[in-house]
Structure 1
Amino acid sequence: MNELLAQLAHCIEFGKVNKDAPYPPDMKGQDGADELTQQLLEAGHSASDILSQALIIGMEKIGVKFRDGQVFVPQVLMSAKAMEAAMNHLKPLFAEEGSVRKGTFIIGTVEGDLHDIGKNLVAMMVEGNGYEVIDMGVDVSADAFIAEMQKHPGAAVGLSALLTTTMENMKNIVAKIKQVEPDRQICIGGAPVNQEFCDQIGADSYNPDPQGVVEYLNRLAS
């Protein structure tokens, strides 16, 4: 692998946003994701190559570490910030290049629930792994999800909830989506839900961590 691509993947994995960022301490004063992405573009690398050969590699590594309990939410958030710094350079170029993304993922926190940290982590991880992400925010109704689905045929849908009181809303949203589009793939996540609840409400996939969502989407895309 090109040395700059390898350095960028390392910055994503360890959350080095830019040269001024103090985290991680052992990379203080070194170029971060921001500078390295710019250098790669100036050297003639395409946005799609930078995504596939650096960002996805770094995000996969931090995702697996998080799933295995080797790192925790703060480290993943720093990786997501580094990925975002790189993506700020790449997003305007994807349309120009006609880059093909792996697929589209619609995600939101269900109606009645205003929590977004878990949802944001999943959205950032999925985007960093090569998907277009439609982040609908929090307190999203079934009608809003369905309206967005109609704009993106074939996109998988992710529902997040943190409160036990909004699990019923998640159930109702899944039922309404399946009534309109029985074959639409829906994955759920959040502290109060589990595989048993997923099976009970007719969702297609439950994942306790962002990497699980990425692997689920990769299976759909393959």
Structure 2
Amino acid sequence: MIDLNELIKAIGELDENTAIKILEDFISGNPTQEEAQRVVEACQRGMEIVGEKFESKEYFVGDLIFAGDLLARAIEMLKPYIGTKGKKGSGKIVLGTVQGDLHDIGKNIFKSMAEAAGFEVHDLGIDQPPENFVSKVKEVKPQIVGLSGLLTLAIESMKKTVDALSEAGLRDGLKVIIGGNAVNGEACAYIGADAWTINAAEGVKFCREWVG
């Protein structure tokens, strides 16, 4: 049996060797989807500890990047066991970090989990202006657009992006989900998004509900 608290502690303390060993042992037992989802949530709780230590200046930007890489590796290891295992064709998502924001750790985690759940994800990258989202939505005709941002300024960029989608006549039937430390219910209403989250697993759950 996996000790989730030990995994949370290992990631929170940036103990890569211990975290990977725990995950390898877990995977060797051919876990169920439900068990794998609990491990993903434990990994994210470990990242929350990293975030708290970063905010308290115990960790630095390099530590944050290292933690993000560790979490992305963990998600990659768990991919075969999470989401709709082996299922494709769940839907299309256009994803990107909005203009003025260069953070992509949360976006990349969401992308990995969405792909594991069978979504076709078109990742625009970071610092993306509204017109790039509009262009990509016209091109691939997704059911969902995901807007990511860590900084407070991302809120205005997200609003401009949603407004641009509406002005281009693309908003009807298109779901918009926003994510990142800057978002909350109030921001979601202001931006005009359909849902918000700071948890990648919860975000994928919203997307799966939307596409049925």
TM-score scaled to structure 2, two decimals? 0.67
1:156 equivalent among 134, 137, 144:
144
1:108 aligned counterpart, secondary structure: strand
Tell me how far apart the structure 2 counterparts of residues 126 and 58 of structure 1 sit (CA, whole Å).
17
> Quick one: percent identity of the two aligned structures?
29
**Deviation of 1:145 (Å):** 0.7
CA RMSD of aligned residues (A): 3.6
Q: Which residue of 2 aligns with 1:205?
A: 195
Distance 1:23 1:131, change over 3 A: farther
Q: Size of the alignment, in residue pairs?
A: 177
Tell me how far apart the structure 1 counterparts of residues 78 and 198 of structure 2 sit (CA, whole Å).
27
1:139 aligned counterpart, secondary structure: coil
Amino acid at match of 2:150: L
Distance 1:86 1:197, change over 3 A: closer
1:116 aligns with 2:111: no
Distance 1:122 1:108, change over 3 A: same
Q: Which residue of 1 aligns with 2:153?
A: 165
Tell me how far apart the structure 2 counterparts of residues 199 and 206 of structure 1 sit (CA, whole Å).
9
Tell me how far apart the structure 1 counterparts of residues 110 and 131 of structure 2 sit (CA, whole Å).
22
Tell me how far apart the structure 1 counterparts of residues 88 and 116 of structure 2 sit (CA, whole Å).
14
Judge conservation of contact 1:149–1:155 (CA < 8 Å) in 2.
no
Q: Which residue of 2 aligns with 1:181?
A: 170
Q: Which residue of 2 aligns with 1:91?
A: none
Judge conservation of contact 1:83–1:128 (CA < 8 Å) in 2.
no
1:130 aligns with 2:122: no
Judge conservation of contact 1:114–1:138 (CA < 8 Å) in 2.
yes
**Deviation of 1:178 (Å):** 2.1
Q: Which blocks of at least 5 consecutive residues in structure 2 are unaligned?
A: 1-6, 11-15, 51-66, 80-85
Q: Which blocks of at least 5 consecutive residues in structure 1 are unaligned?
A: 1-12, 16-20, 37-49, 88-93
TM-score scaled to structure 1, two decimals? 0.64
Tell me how far apart the structure 2 counterparts of residues 120 and 76 of structure 1 sit (CA, whole Å).
9
Tell me how far apart the structure 2 counterparts of residues 76 and 61 of structure 1 sit (CA, whole Å).
19
Listed one character per residue, the Cα deviations across residues 104-162 of structure 1 (whole Å, up to 9, x for unaligned) are 21110101111111211211222222222111110111111111112222331100111
Distance 1:192 1:83, change over 3 A: closer
Q: Which moved more, 1:168-177 or 1:57-66?
A: 57-66
Q: Which residue of 1 aligns with 2:94?
A: 106
Judge conservation of contact 1:159–1:188 (CA < 8 Å) in 2.
yes
Amino acid at match of 2:17: P
Judge conservation of contact 1:77–1:121 (CA < 8 Å) in 2.
no
1:163 aligned counterpart, secondary structure: coil
Listed one character per residue, the Cα deviations across residues 10-54 of structure 1 (whole Å, up to 9, x for unaligned) are xxx999xxxxx83437559x6897xx8xxxxxxxxxxxxx9xx97
